[in-house]
């Protein structure tokens, strides 16, 4: 279609008429892409705006809404439990996402090496955990993490370490959640990086080899610079994902019907779990909507800060 | 994988001439394989342990050392699982939702992707930029209003909230656009247009048959996502008979005194079907996944 539209004369007075004509000629394209915009308006955009509106109200979900202005936000700013859940979320982002990205990058680089055999097997093996439901995975890890009888403590006892109450001890719950998250997500991140690595022109590597470059030097001087946009994009998606982390933390910290969300001393209480309980167990919809909006702002700030710090544009 | 195999010939020749490379020497290669093998053991072992545990009773599982080989409690655990939750019913719900949702996603996303890839219409760039930007908007934050919308639509305790909203999603459309842009020459559609074919016919008869690899990868990703979806079903589904598998399983965590073997068998029931699909399709899936993702923007 591009080739046809080029032949139309580009005259300023004609522009408007040309545009209408082009739009008419491509009417079907609008039909084809419209479902996204219609659905997003109803199920994407509207909930976001409505959420902001909701955050200025006190509402239990049933009785009439009561306008409270900024009072939900004022309360949120002095809510220690909220800030602790934010702290836990950020803690988990650093403990789970950063190692996961580094590991994924190393694994992707190794598997992308032309000398490695059995690529298909390794790729599939690393990708396997993401296929499994986080709920099912958590049930499995609850057993692996068992205090006195879990397999993990059995392994650590073999090297003489004392048993750890992985999910019951307030100091170990977060690391346990981080471990399961790393276990589940590293393979997925690796596949994304692998796709990026495969788009790097192999002639660059060959030229470097001919010049006598070592693998380590190739990694730092060719691979890393070229992979920067992919990594940048992945980190931003990880920030968005990590701030909304729910499945694994809620399941490892006692399940969805637990009366003490977040486990021992709320040490595993992440922001989304806090929000979930506030809205759907304590039925404080307005207050939870304020949490959601604050979380949304934090994601925005972190993503922009990271993007700025890396000096890149993720949509490049 | 075509690019790597193609590259290996020339770079292998080149590295022979340079000699001592610490990572690519014999010791380095052993270390690299060790990383891969240990890594894949760590990812695969819990699945094996899951299968083993589901055939034991709690006392045996809690023994030191824990069992690493299969026991004889599978049938007993299975009966207990069926007593604890309507397993097959939940499994069916999950399969039906994932299948219907995936079919609709494939249709609407390929249609939208085709629209963006092969038509030059006014407003195309800003519309596409908007679509990409929505990818960066954290969706779960509209969750409470979404719940309220579903309630007002009368969709509580139905499957619609998991089937309808995501059928024309930004990721799927972006994905299909990338593939269609690269894989389909414009002549293909122009020839059909000269023959006087209707635009929708061209999509259905000319485009769809050519984009099967990308559709396959998108199908698997969508199916996995729907199958494992937890947060929203947890909010929407009240009636146990309508539970999807993850929601049904999450109740097991709260039931104290449920045999460990039974819980793990339930987890295995949720993981195995999708794992089998993945292992069978992994080769095509992986190449489809990397092929679609290669050229960004």
Rounded distance, CA B55 to CA B51, Å? 7
Q: By C-alpha distance, which of A290, A295, A217, A307 is closest to A68?
A: A290
Whole-number Å distance between alpha carbons of A229 and A206 = 22
Secondary structure class of A67 (helix, strand, coil)? strand
Compute the radius of gyration of chain B from its Cα atoms: 24
Q: How far apart are CA A54 and CA A59, in angstroms?
A: 8
Task: Give B216→chain A minimum CA distance, Å.
Answer: 15
- Choose between B110 and A200: higher pLDDT: B110
| CA atoms of A170 and A147, how far apart (whole Å) | 13
Which position has the higher pLDDT, A143 or A148?
Answer: A143
Q: What angle do the packed helices B170-183 and B260-294 form, to 10 degrees?
A: 40
CB contact B10 to A (< 8 Å): yes
Residues A289-315 have a mean pLDDT of 82
Determine the pLDDT at residue B291: 57
Largest Cα separation within chain A, whole Å, is 83
- Look at the block and give the residue holding tokens 């090297």: A159
Whether residue A26 is predicted with pLDDT greater than 80 in this model: the reply is: yes
Query: Looking at the predicted structure, is the pLDDT value of residue A65 above 60?
Result: yes
Mean of the pLDDT values across residues B239-266?
Answer: 82
B148 contacts A29? CB cut-off 8 A: no
Tell me, yes or no, if B60 comes closer than 8 A to chain A by beta carbon.
no
Q: What is the C-alpha separation between B261 and B57, in angstroms, rounded?
A: 6
Compute the average pLDDT of residues B219-231.
89
Contact partners, residue A48, CB within 8 Å, separation at least 6 = A296, B137, B141, B142, B145
What residues in B contact A109, CB-CB < 8 Å?
none
Nearest CB to B141; choose among A134, A186, A296? A296
Residue B17 to chain A, least CA–CA distance (Å): 8
**Does the pLDDT value for residue A3 go beyond 70?**
no
Residue A167 has pLDDT above 90, yes or no: no
Measured in angstroms, the CA of B102 and the nearest CA of chain A are apart by 15
Residues B246, B247, B252, B254, CA torsion sign: positive
Task: Give residue B113's pLDDT band: very low, low, confident or very high (50, 70, 90).
Answer: very high
Q: What pLDDT was estimated at residue B163?
A: 93
Tokens 């109740």 belong to: B251
Task: Determine whether the interchain pair B43/A303 forms a contact, defined as Cβ–Cβ distance below 8 Å.
Answer: no
Interface contact A315-B145, CB threshold 8 A = no
Distance separating alpha carbons of residues B173 and A200, to the nearest angstrom: 25
Q: Residue A131 carries which DSSP code?
A: H
Mean per-residue pLDDT for A78-89? 93
Residue of B nearest to A201 (CA): B3
Distance CA A47, CA B141 (A): 9
Phi-psi sector, A14: left (phi>0), alpha (psi -120 to 50), beta: alpha
CATH architecture of B85-254: Orthogonal Bundle (1.10)
Out of A22, A236, A256, name the one closest to residue B250 (CB): A256
Q: A253 and A178 in contact (C-beta within 8 Å)?
A: no
Q: How many CB pairs under 8 A join A and B?
A: 346
The predicted-structure confidence for B124-166, as pLDDT tens digits, reads as follows 999 999 998 888 887 767 888 888 889 989 999 999 999 999 9
CA-nearest of A261, A298, A256, A238 to A76 is A298
Q: What is the pLDDT of residue B295?
A: 41
Give dist(CA A64, CA A154) in Å, integer: 56
Q: Which residues of B touch A247 (CB under 8 A)?
A: 230-231
| pLDDT over threshold 90, residue A64 | no
Give yes or no for residue A5 having a pLDDT over 50.
Answer: no
Q: Which of B140, B201, B255 to mutate to test the interface with A (most CBs of A within 10 A)?
A: B140
Which chain A residue is nearest to residue B23, measuring alpha carbons?
A215
Q: Are the C-beta atoms of residues A289 and A51 closer than 8 Å to each other?
A: yes
- Termini Cα distance of chain A: 25
pLDDT (tens digit, 9 = 90+) per residue, B171-206?
A: 999 989 988 888 888 888 888 888 888 888 889 988
What is the arithmetic mean of pLDDT over A245-270? 83
Q: Counting beta carbons within 10 angstroms of the beta carbon of residue A298, is it exposed (0 to 12), middle (13 to 18) or buried (19 or more)?
A: middle
Measured between CB atoms, does B243 come within 8 Å of chain A? Answer: no
- A135 to chain B, any CB pair closer than 8 A? The answer is yes
- The Cα–Cα gap between A81 and A179 comes to 24
Cβ of residue A32 closer than 8 Å to a chain B Cβ: yes
Q: Distance between CA atoms of B176 and B116, rounded to whole angstroms? A: 9
pLDDT band at B289 (very low <50, low <70, confident <90, very high): low
Answer whether B141 sits within 8 Å of A51, measured CB to CB.
yes
pLDDT at site B92: 94
Beta pairing partners, A58: A66
Read off the tokens for A265. 């001393």
Contact assessment for residue A268 and residue A174, using Cβ atoms and an 8 Å cutoff? yes
Cβ–Cβ < 8 Å for A75, A228: no
pLDDT (average), residues A129-157? 82
| Fold designation for A80-310 | MetI-like fold (1.10.3720)
Whole-number Å distance between alpha carbons of B172 and B110 = 8
Give B130 to chain A, closest Cα distance, Å: 10
Closest residue in chain A to residue B146, using alpha carbons only: A47
Residues 6+ apart with CB under 8 A from A45: none
The partner residue sitting opposite B40, judged by closest CB among A122, A216, A240, is A122
- Across residues A158-167, what is the average pLDDT? 81
Q: Is the confidence at residue B60, as pLDDT, over 80?
A: no
Beta-bridge mates of residue A57: A67
3-state helix, strand, coil in chain B (%, to 5): 75, 0, 25
Q: Which of residues 212-231 of A touch B (CB under 8 A)?
A: 212-216, 229-230
User: Which A-chain residues 279-298 have CB contacts (< 8 A) with chain B?
Assistant: 279-280, 285, 288-289, 292-293, 295-296
Burial of A5 (C-beta count, 10 Å sphere; 0-12/13-18/19+):
middle
Chain B residue numbers with beta carbons less than 8 Å from the beta carbon of A191 are 286, 289-290
CA-based nearest residue to A139, from A277, A268, A266, A254: A254
Nearest alpha-carbon partner for B167 in B209, B104, B118, B110? B104
Residue boundaries of the structural domains of chain B:
22-80, 85-254
Tens digits of residue pLDDT in B2-42: 334 444 444 444 444 444 566 677 888 888 899 999 999 99
Q: How far apart are CA B269 and CA B145, in angstroms?
A: 33
Q: Which of A193-202, A229-238, B285-294 has the lowest mean pLDDT?
A: B285-294
Read off the pLDDT band of A78 (50, 70, 90).
very high
Euclidean distance between CA atoms B9 and A309, whole angstroms: 39
List every span in chain A annotated with CATH 1.10.3720.10: 80-310
Pick the range with the lowest mean pLDDT from A305-314, B42-51, B114-123: A305-314
Q: Give yes or no for residue A79 having a pLDDT over 50.
A: yes
- Selecting from A33, A209, A254 the residue whose C-beta is nearest the C-beta of B11 gives A209
């Amino acid at each position: 279609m591009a080739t046809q539209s080029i032949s139309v004369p580009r005259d300023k007075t004609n522009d408007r008429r040309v545009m209408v004509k082009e739009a008419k000629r491509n009417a079907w394209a609008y039909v084809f892409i419209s479902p996204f915009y219609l659905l997003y308006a109803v199920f994407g955009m509207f909930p976001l705006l409505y959420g902001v509106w909701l955050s200025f109200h006190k509402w239990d979900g049933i009785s009439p809404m009561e306008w409270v202005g900024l009072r939900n936000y004022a309360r949120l700013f002095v809510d220690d439990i909220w800030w602790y859940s934010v702290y836990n979320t950020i803690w988990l982002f650093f403990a789970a996402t950063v190692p996961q990205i580094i590991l994924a990058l190393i694994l992707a680089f190794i598997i992308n090496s032309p000398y490695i055999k059995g690529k298909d097997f390794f790729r599939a093996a690393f990708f396997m955990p993401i296929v499994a439901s986080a709920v099912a995975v958590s049930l499995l890890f609850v057993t692996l993490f068992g205090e006195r009888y879990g397999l993990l403590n059995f392994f650590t006892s073999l090297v003489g370490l004392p048993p750890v109450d992985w999910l019951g001890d307030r100091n170990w719950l977060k690391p346990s959640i981080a471990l399961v998250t790393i276990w589940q997500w590293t393979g997925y991140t690796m596949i994304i990086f692998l796709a990026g690595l495969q788009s790097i022109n192999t002639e660059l590597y060959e030229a470097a080899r001919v010049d006598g470059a070592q693998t380590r030097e190739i990694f730092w001087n060719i691979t890393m610079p070229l992979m920067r946009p992919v990594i940048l994009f992945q980190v931003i998606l990880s920030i968005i994902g990590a701030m909304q982390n729910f499945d694994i933390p809620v399941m490892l910290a006692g399940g969805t019907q637990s009366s003490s969300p977040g486990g021992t001393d709320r040490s595993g209480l992440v922001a989304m779990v806090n929000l979930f309980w506030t809205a759907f167990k304590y039925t404080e919809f307005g207050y939870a909507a304020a949490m959601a909006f604050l979380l949304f702002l934090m994601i925005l700030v972190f993503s922009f800060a990271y993007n700025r710090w890396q000096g890149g544009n993720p949509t490049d | 994988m075509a690019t790597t195999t193609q590259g290996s010939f020339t770079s292998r020749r080149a590295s022979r001439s340079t000699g001592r490379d610490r990572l690519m020497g014999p010791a380095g290669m052993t270390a690299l394989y060790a990383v891969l093998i240990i890594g894949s053991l760590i990812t695969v072992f819990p699945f094996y342990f899951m299968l083993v545990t589901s055939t034991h009773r709690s006392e045996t599982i809690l023994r030191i050392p824990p069992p690493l080989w299969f026991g004889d409690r599978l049938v007993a655990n299975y009966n207990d699982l069926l007593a604890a939750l309507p397993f097959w019913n939940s499994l069916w719900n999950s399969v039906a939702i994932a299948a219907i949702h995936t079919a609709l996603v494939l249709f609407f996303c390929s249609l939208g992707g085709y629209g963006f890839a092969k038509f030059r219409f006014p407003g195309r760039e800003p519309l596409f930029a908007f679509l990409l930007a929505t990818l960066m908007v954290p969706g779960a934050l509209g969750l409470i209003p979404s719940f309220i919308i579903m309630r007002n639509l009368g969709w509580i305790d139905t499957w619609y909230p998991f089937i309808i909203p995501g059928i024309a999603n930004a990721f799927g459309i972006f994905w299909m656009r990338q593939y269609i842009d690269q894989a389909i020459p414009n002549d293909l559609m122009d020839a059909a247009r000269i023959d006087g074919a209707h635009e929708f016919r061209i999509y259905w008869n000319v485009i769809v048959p050519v984009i099967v690899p990308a559709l396959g990868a998108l199908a698997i990703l969508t199916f996995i996502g729907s199958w494992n979806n937890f947060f929203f079903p947890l909010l929407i589904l009240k009636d146990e008979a309508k539970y999807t598998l993850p929601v049904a399983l999450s109740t097991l965590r709260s039931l104290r005194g449920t045999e460990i073997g039974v819980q793990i068998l339930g987890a295995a029931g949720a993981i195995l079907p999708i794992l089998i699909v993945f292992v069978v399709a992994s080769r095509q899936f992986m190449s489809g996944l990397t092929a679609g993702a290669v050229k960004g923007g």
